[in-house]
Amino acid sequence: IDFIQALQMAGTNQDDQEQQVSLSEKRKMTIQETRRTLPVYAFREDFIKAVHEHQVLIIEGETGSGKTTQLPQYLYEAGFCKDMKRIGCTQPRRVAAMSVAARVSEEAGCKLGSTVGYSIRFEDCTSEKTLIKYMTDGMLLREFLNEPDLASYSVMMIDEAHERTLHTDVLFGLVKDIARFRPDLKLLISSATLDAEKFSTFFDDAPIFRIPGRRFPVDIYYTQAPEADYLDATIVTIMQIHLTQPMPGDILVFLTGKFFSRVLLSKFINDQKRESQEEIESVMEALIEKTKMLGKKIKELIVLPIYANLPSDLQAKIFEPTPPNARKVILATNIAETSVTIDGIVYVIDPGFSKQNSFDARSGVEHLHVVTISKAAANQRAGRAGRTGPGKCFRLYTAWAYKHELEDQPIPEIQRTNLGNVVLMLKSLGIHDLVHFDFLDPPPQETLVIALEQLYALGALNHRGELTKLGRRMAEFPCDPCMSKMIIASEKYECSEEIVTIASMLSVNAAVFYRPKAMIIHADSARKGFWSQYGDHLTLLNVYNKWKETNYSQQWCMENFVQHRTMRRAYDVREQLVGLLERVEIEPKSSNNHINILKCVVSGYFYNCAKLDSGGHYKTVKHKHTVHIHPNSSLFEETPRWLCYFELVFTSKEFMREISTIESQWLLEAAPHYYKGKELEDSTNKKMPKGRGKSAKELQ
């Protein structure tokens, strides 16, 4: 990997100097002046006029032109919030919804959560006064359950439509339908790329409003040969840019945000004990180590991450202007492709991968994979370098690979994901005939059928495919059907207090423990102190309950190497879930009977069960898929015969995360429609490999 030549040529570029001026000029501008420099500003009047004239409008404009932050404000200023009706704007990602709302409230000069607010899963930052509401597409879908005609809105903007997330795709069908009987509702479908024609056709030939973008030329460089280790190449490229290029000029790097095998970065990080870590975190660590080594010899490099679950206090940092004599490098997931625009980026590094969920209908296995991005995505990424001046994009793949290996467009999520959640939602909205639902691109028939089967096995649908009472209650929870089922099962087993705690800990989707390098031994022994012999679900419960006993102390978290931030979030999620229990009329009861608690887990997650075979390997019960216990699990050194896991992650192998020991009879009790007695026979007479751990039964 060597972009040195390209960088040397670039270093003397006249444009770079011009750009430095324009960047520092920009810093001095007031917020209102900045608003007026955005490309959409020139089209303000035309836009308002077009919205008055048409019910549905397709908007197409380059990323960063001001669609998300400005258009809702223009409509607000033009009086579209008469009678306290709201302007809604959906975003596929939570971080985007939050950061955009923060920005707009600042521009509008009001406190976040008053006139301008946002709503994301487990977090509602709006009030009665909120008139411009940003929300995730998933939250709008949930709002349909309470307000099927969106009566409280005068305008709904489905933003980032080109992302084609599952929820956005379902929204297309729903909003198209309600627009017919709510002629007063204005609908905006906005997108950054060239899908506008397709959206227009879908929305009965709605007119397209184009906002010409301002884009400076971006030089694109490829590697000569394929890179064996893209993280390694990323770090080298960042350092080459930093050491040879004039400032200002920040760097944006696209990573996948996936857990990966540590071995990859062994050159930079010595701690080999840990099997996997978030990719972004590892690159951050490696960069910090590397710059520390170089010390005062180099200018300051500020390393900042941005990804979907980034805590809000860290999000703001991304947008802070870079101090003079320093350079910012932002390690982002594809959230920075179009949803979030960061000013001052001159260099983009694109390894060519992104994380994508996929669902194998045949084996029922669902997991996150790292896949090569599409040409459309690669071009979006490159475009991020040319917003404020000419830029450079370093692609860590060959020109040949770009041409021959990348697909033109990404596959819409609806065609490659488990639809259980969405099917349950649509059924709750009274949409029974899913095959004829108005999809922009319909999902494969096979995945629809699997979703129906799963919901039937969970008891959410009856044999005619109609929603049951259980299904209706499940739909109240903003969780996937397995988790909702687990929560509702806690009524029967009288342990809702414990189950909502476990559900919240599973939902935060962030590390509970941390392991500072200098104190790994202490951290690991603290972590082991929480371990339950029954597995990770009860371990998570332990951590939460111990924290609760200290009255939610931050000090306690520090002493025990527990992430306080994760715990605070679990607390918030838990509060919400408790509120929802009330809605479905479950009185929270508490129990310390671990069997009942685990039976609830199995009630929801009976698909995710694996059995130890005679060769000492785990195979999923139904599909005989080989899986492994994750090294972070409290059961890593045990070998229970039957176990139930929360999810599969793929790093070097297929790992089960958050695992508990169970008994096979529980599966029959939880899912009589799904499992047959024969599948669950315990082969106790088979010889077990030497040194095997105890079975769940012996542990009781």
Residue numbers of the site for ligand ADP (CB under 6 A)? 38, 61, 63-70, 99-100, 102-103, 319, 341, 343
Q: Which residues contact 240 (CB under 8 A, 6 or more apart)?
A: 2, 3, 4, 7
Query: Which of ligand ADP, Mg ion, none binds 306 (CB below 5-8 Å, type-dependent)?
Result: none
DSSP 3-state of 76: helix
Widest Cα–Cα separation across the chain:
79
Q: Are strands 654-661 and 626-629 parallel, antiparallel or unpaired?
A: parallel
- Least distance between Mg ion and beta carbon 328 (Å): 21
Range 371-383 burial, b when 16+ CB lie within 10 A, else e? bbbbebbbbbbbb
**Phi and psi angles of residue 222, each rounded to the nearest 5 degrees, phi first:** -115, 160
- Closer CB to ligand ADP, 13 or 34, in the complex: 34
Q: How far is CA 457 from the centre of its chain?
A: 27
**How many CB atoms sit inside 10 A of residue 460's CB?**
27
Query: Which of Mg ion, ligand ADP, none binds 103 (CB below 5-8 Å, type-dependent)?
Result: ligand ADP
- Least distance between Mg ion and beta carbon 387 (Å): 13
Q: Which two tokens stand for residue 372?
A: 């090569």
**What is the spatial distance between Cα 67 and Cα 340, in angstroms, rounded to a whole number?**
12
**What is the spatial distance between Cα 347 and Cα 554, in angstroms, rounded to a whole number?**
39
Query: Which of Mg ion, ligand ADP, none binds 291 (CB below 5-8 Å, type-dependent)?
Result: none
- Closer CB to ligand ADP, 305 or 471, in the complex: 305
- Least distance between ligand ADP and beta carbon 71 (Å): 8
- Least distance between ligand ADP and beta carbon 100 (Å): 5
- Closer CB to Mg ion, 90 or 282, in the complex: 90
- Least distance between ligand ADP and beta carbon 108 (Å): 13
CA atoms within 13 A on the CB side of 92: 24
- Closer CB to Mg ion, 68 or 234, in the complex: 68
Query: Which of ligand ADP, Mg ion, none binds 65 (CB below 5-8 Å, type-dependent)?
Result: ligand ADP
**What is the spatial distance between Cα 89 and Cα 140, in angstroms, rounded to a whole number?**
9
Query: Which of Mg ion, ligand ADP, none binds 319 (CB below 5-8 Å, type-dependent)?
Result: ligand ADP
- With beta carbons less than 8 A apart as the criterion, state whether 359 and 447 touch: yes
Q: Considering the rule CB under 5 A, would residue 91 count as an interface residue with Mg ion?
A: no
**What is the spatial distance between Cα 323 and Cα 331, in angstroms, rounded to a whole number?**
18
Please count the residues of this chain forming the interface with Mg ion, following the rule CB under 5 A.
Answer: 1
Q: Which two tokens stand for residue 542?
A: 């332990």
- Least distance between Mg ion and beta carbon 384 (Å): 13
- Closer CB to Mg ion, 91 or 447, in the complex: 91
Q: How far is CA 235 from the centre of its chain?
A: 24
- Closer CB to ligand ADP, 69 or 490, in the complex: 69
* Upstream peptide bond of 323 is cis (omega within 30 degrees of 0): no
- Least distance between ligand ADP and beta carbon 336 (Å): 11
Query: Which of Mg ion, ligand ADP, none binds 102 (CB below 5-8 Å, type-dependent)?
Result: ligand ADP
Q: How far is CA 501 from the centre of its chain?
A: 21
- Least distance between Mg ion and beta carbon 67 (Å): 5
Q: Are strands 353-360 and 365-372 parallel, antiparallel or unpaired?
A: antiparallel
DSSP 3-state of 69: helix
- Least distance between ligand ADP and beta carbon 349 (Å): 19
Cβ-closest residue to Mg ion? 68
- Closer CB to ligand ADP, 105 or 417, in the complex: 105
- Closer CB to ligand ADP, 347 or 605, in the complex: 347
Per-residue binder mask for Mg ion (CB under 5 A), 31-70, x = binder: -------------------------------------x--
Query: Which of Mg ion, ligand ADP, none binds 414 (CB below 5-8 Å, type-dependent)?
Result: none
Query: Which residues make up the interface to Mg ion (CB under 5 A)?
Result: 68
